[in-house]
Structures are given as C-alpha cells and as structure tokens.
Structure 1
Amino acid sequence: MAPEPLEGIDQPDDRGALAAHRAFYAAFEARDLDAMSDLWRHDAAVTCVHPGWPALHGWASVAASWASLFGGSERLQFILTDERLHRVGDVCWATVDENIIQGAHGATVNALNVFEWSDGRWWMVAHHGSPVAARGGEGQ
C-alpha cells in the first residue's frame, strides 16, 4: 500500500480526522518515515506505546521508535476492523483492531490513536497498541 497524501486532514470535522487516521496506517504499512513524521505533532507532549514496549514520550523518542520499527525487511499488511471514531471539540480518538500480516505470521493489536485539531489540520498526538491474546479452545 503506497502512502496516501495528507489530503483531507485539513478538514476540521470527522472526515478530516478519519483522513489522518487512515494516512497513519498508509505510512505504517509503507514504512515511510517522512509520511509518518508529517502526521505527528513534533513536541514533548506526544506519546506512543507499541505492543511490548515502554511508553515513549516526546517526539524524539517516538520518531526513533518508528525508525527502529521500519528498519526490518519483512512487509507488513494491515487489515483494519472494528474502526470507530469519536470527536469532542478539537480532539478525536479512533479505536481499531489492527489485523497485521507479516510474512507467514499474523497478529491482532487493539489500537487507540489520538488526534488534535490545531494550526488548520489534524495532528497525531498519541498511539497505543495492545496485543490481543490468541483465543483458546471453545468455551474459553
């Protein structure tokens, strides 16, 4: 999936926030550091929690995490399900199940992405991914 331009993130409504949310996954799938950087606010208040990682605070730490994640050679594919968007004023949060395919392996991560409307566009200010435990046998 090629990264999509940041088209639409300048709309101050749900459509703009959804455009920013989708651009995040396009940049993630394409491992495009520039596109990812363009989405995030570059300040000390941003936060990112990747599955199994400690919380990262501030743009420098968050940017370094993306550089580390994008350094691998195996292609990632995201199939997004149960995508929900909620907006109150200048803050929007999206919850989604990230069904990730990487090589012959797959995993599901529940994610929360937070965006803030500022300076005429939506900025990503937080991402939190939490792995979903594999389901056991019937009745569990």
Structure 2
Amino acid sequence: MKSRQEIVDRVAEANAEFYQAIETGDIDLMDRVWANEDQAPDLVCVNPGWPMLRGRAEIMRAWSLVMANIPYIQYVLTETHVGVDGEIAMVTCEENVLTAEEDNPGFVAGGQVVTTNLFVRTEQGWRLWSHHASPVMLEEDEGTDD
C-alpha cells in the first residue's frame, strides 16, 4: 500500500502533466491527462472568459483550439495544495501565466489565475475530472497619478 505522501506526489505529477500538455501543445498528453466519461461522469472545464465546457469531446476540442492558437504560454504555479480522500483528489493553486503573441514576438503578457483541479483515481492513474480557473483582478498601483 502506498503512503499518503506517495499518493500526494502522484496527484501532483498528474497536475504537472496537465500544465506540461498546455505549455508544449501536446494534445496527446492532454488526452491522457483527462479521465474518460466512464471513469468520471460529467467532466467539466472552466477557463477564464470561456463558457462552461461539459463532456470529454467538447473539452478536448476546446484544448485543441487553445493549443493551436497560442504560440507561447508558460505557467509558474504557486500556493499549490493537494488534498486526497480515497479515490478523489483536489489540487488548488495559483497559475502565474506568461503568454506571447506570434505577430509581436517581443510582447509578453502576464496574469494570475486561481485554479481548482479535481482528479479521480483510475486503473491508469490519477486523471483530471474537473478544471476550474478564475482570473484574479490585480489592483493598479495606487501610488501613480495618471
């Protein structure tokens, strides 16, 4: 039997694979990260500014579009916490996101998103059941007079 720390480490690895899939544009890895409908019914994905996505086909179609249209994206995860209860795990974190535009290679934009990722234990390992990301509104510097 695996120790609690080993289980937490496996969930953290599954979470890291999700972000690796996005950063590298690896749709095959993204496909492996998500659970199948028979393993976790009612798969859900919420990305900032997007409508709620339900079902594996809709989620994978959306990630394909995202990966095809973002030339560069990098995630620096902070405040990551993993909770496990039996066959379910929850990862909460802050995504510090850097992106660049293809037609303006010197331009890099950043933002912060808070995220909850739910995982389910399957025969293939921990698989994503739900991804919910919400943008954090950063306050402007109060000391500037514009």
TM-score, structure 2 as length reference: 0.82
Note if contact 1:96-1:111 (Cα within 8 Å) is conserved in structure 2: yes
Q: What does residue 37 of structure 1 align with?
A: 31
The DSSP-based 3-state class of the residue aligned with 1:51 is coil
Note if contact 1:81-1:98 (Cα within 8 Å) is conserved in structure 2: yes
2:67 to 66, 70, 87: 70
1:47-86 alpha-carbon deviations (Å, 9 max, x no partner): 1001011111100110011011011142101111111111
Q: What's the % identity of the aligned pairs?
A: 30
1 CA distance for matches of 2:12 and 2:22? 15
2 CA distance for matches of 1:53 and 1:69? 11
Change (3 A) 1:12 1:56: farther
Across the two proteins, how many residue pairs are aligned to each other?
129
In structure 1, what residue type is equivalent to 2:12?
L
Deviation at 1:45, TM superposition (A): 1.7
The DSSP-based 3-state class of the residue aligned with 1:71 is helix
2 CA distance for matches of 1:120 and 1:105? 36
**2:52 equivalent to 1:52:** no
Q: Which has the larger radius of gyration?
A: 2
